[in-house]
């Protein structure tokens, strides 16, 4: 299934956001997630289904001013 991860096309097999993160090597990473522009809290990743073409944003802490 094709999804857009942080702006780039990716092929993954995943039913939920949780599975998608696994498949995308984020496993244990400290990240925040959004699907199609909506924030998905950590504890809802398991029940958040992912479908063809979904835009997934995976963000982590970074330098800021």
Partner 1 sequence: MSARTFYGQALANRLLLGTAQYPSPAILADAVKQSAVDMVTVSLRRESGAQRAGQAFWQLIKELGVSVLPNTAGCHTVKEAVTTAHMAREVFGTKSIKLEVIGEDDTLQPDVFGLVEAARILTDDGFEVWPYTTQDLIVGGKLLDAGCEVLMPWGAPIGSGQGLNDVFGLRAMRAHFPDVPLVVDAGLGLPSHASQAMELGYDAVLLNTAVAKAGDPVAMAIAFADATRAGQAAHQAGPMEVRDMAEPSTPVMGKAFLL
User: CB of 25: closest distance to partner 1 in angstroms?
Assistant: 3
Q: Is 55 an interacting residue with respect to partner 1 (CB under 8 A)?
A: yes
Q: Is 60 an interacting residue with respect to partner 1 (CB under 8 A)?
A: yes
Q: Is 6 an interacting residue with respect to partner 1 (CB under 8 A)?
A: yes
What CA–CA distances, in Å, run from 47 to 7, 17, 40, 61, 62? Answer: 23, 8, 10, 24, 28
Sign of CA dihedral 28, 30, 36, 41: positive
| Chain residues that interact with partner 1, rule: CB under 8 A | 6-7, 24-26, 29-34, 37-39, 41-42, 55, 57-65
């Amino acid at each position: 299934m094709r999804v857009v991860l942080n702006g780039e096309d990716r092929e993954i097999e995943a039913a939920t956001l949780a599975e998608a993160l696994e498949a995308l090597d984020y496993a244990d990473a400290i990240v925040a997630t959004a699907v199609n522009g909506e924030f998905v809290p950590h504890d809802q990743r398991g029940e958040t289904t992912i479908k063809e073409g979904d835009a997934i944003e995976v963000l982590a802490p970074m330098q800021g001013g």
